Structure 1
Amino acid sequence: MTTERGSSVTYWIGKTWLKAFGWRLETEYPVTDKFVLIAAPHTTGWDLPFMLATSYAMRLPLSWMGKQELFRPPFGWALRVLGGIPIARGARKNRVGWAVEQFAQSPHLILAIPAEGTRGAVTHWKSGFYRIALGAGVPIGLGYLDFEKKTCGIGGFITPTGDVRADMDLIRAFYRDIRGKYPSKESIPRLREEEDPSALPLIALDPA
């Protein structure tokens, strides 16, 4: 089973974009049609076009979550074309549960999540990506953009076990040598749940 789809036009756009900027694709390809994709490090607005170009070059149809209001006319259609999934106001209080339900209902879903939640440095990543993957029973793809080496793709996949610290150790090991456009804005991959063992048994159920 493979998630490789996408048109020849978007494939050409992605390859042309990367070539024009001198980037190369260094990636593992998924063997499943459903997974959560970490988008990191996130330090600049340039991350979005490079992420899309990478997904086009890999023929991977990415999806991402956004407020329902963003999808109103006249530009809502464009956001949907770019993979946006509108979230109703009531569902925002429990995005994890909403996303888990989307995975259950969809035969194909690659949900990209910027784990930092912002372009600036933070002390902890948001745990939504982990909670969603654990709750949905899907792998986590280690998506990356390395502006120093000008490489991009998916560095591998992990299956969340519920042992958050052990799983995050694997994630930290991968991102340790990945550099964003602005290294001073990078954040060490760390979740608050690693410091509070009592939260671990319920991590898949709590809101993001």
Structure 2
Amino acid sequence: MHPPGTLILHDLTTARPRPSRGFGMDVWHWLGRGFLALGGWRIAGDWPDDAKAVVTAGPHTSNWDGIWMIAAAAKWRIRLRYMGKKSLTQGPFGALVRWTGCIPIDRSRSNDVVGTMRAAFAAEAGLILVVPPEGTRDRVLKWKSGFYHIAVGAGVPITFAVMDYAKKTVSLPATLWPSGDYAADLAIIQGFYAEATAKYPENFVLTGN
């Protein structure tokens, strides 16, 4: 754990996956590696050692963003978790949806999402939560702040995952231990996405907080 406001820059000349954690994760690793190779994509940077983190995945302008992010995480031997509607985890396919990494969020009423996720982080020894900060594939003029407040509430770092379609690269340029000053930290975070090329560049806007 690092003091609030600590920014850790990652070496993007290496791309070492995490150590093997069993046959199942190794199969996942090779599937991700093969899928990236077929698409001509690569990863850059070693995945941080933090057992718990919020990962900002962007730019997010297409459903393909999630596919490349999942494949990249597989190559890094990382199981990503994500937030989804509670209804998705119910019914005959509920168990399967949970298996994919979905953390159910009750959106049927006013709900403390930050509190729910803080409890989820506290309940598990390891949790890597991926969040697209734009919150939608459509053009937005302001990032949603939920990812930041979740990280602050859970006391975990924020790792930046940058998807660049021009370079066909998913990179991990830095990790930030949030300071509590959202505006200042957002400027730092967005700076690492400023040069990235989205699949649909016209839908990716950085306008501060």
Which TM-score bucket, shorter chain as reference?
A: 0.7 to 0.9
**Partner amino acid, structure 1, of 2:69:** M
CA distance in 2, matches of 1:36, 1:110: 6
Q: Which runs of 4 or more aligned residues in structure 1 lie more than 4 Å from their structure 2 counterparts after TM superposition?
A: 1-6, 89-92
Amino acid at match of 1:181: K
1:61 pairs with 2:79 = yes
Q: CA deviation at 1:68?
A: 1.2
Structure 1 residues 111, 26: closer, same or farther in 2, change over 3 A?
same
**Pairing 1:88-167 to 2, within 5 Å after superposition:** 88-89=106-107, 93-167=111-185
Structure number with the higher helix fraction is 1
- Report the TM-score when normalising by structure 1: 0.85
SS in 1 for 2:111: helix
> What's the offset of the Cα at 1:120?
1.0
The 1:92/1:187 distance shift into structure 2, 3 A limit, reads farther
Q: 1:101, CA displacement in angstroms? A: 1.3
| 8 A Cα contact 1:3 1:108, kept in partner | no
| Closer, same or farther: CA 189–128 of 1 in aligned 2, 3 Å | farther
Separation (CA, whole Å) in 1 of partners of 2:30 and 2:91: 28
Residue 192 of structure 2 aligns to a residue in which SS? helix
Query: Runs of 5+ in structure 2 lacking a partner?
Result: 2-16
Match of residue 12 from structure 2: none
Residue-by-residue CA offset, 1:66-90 (whole Å, 9 max, x unaligned): 1111123333233222211122457
Tell me if structure 1 keeps the 8 A contact 2:18–2:76. no
Deviations 1:74-127 (A, max 9, x none): 332332222111224578621011111111121100011111010011111110
Tell me, yes or no, if the aligned pair for 1:3 and 1:32 is still in contact at 8 Å.
Answer: no
Sort the Cα spacing of 1:92 and 1:24 in 2 relative to 1 into closer, same or farther, 3 A. farther
Match in the other structure for 2:67 = 49
Look up the SS of the partner of 2:66 in the other structure: helix
Identity %: 41
Kindly provide the CA deviation profile for residues 7-33 of structure 1, in whole angstroms up to 9, marking residues without a partner as x.
Answer: 111101100010001111112321210
Give, in angstroms, the shift of residue 165 of structure 1: 2.2
- In structure 1, the gaps of 5 or more residues are 192-208
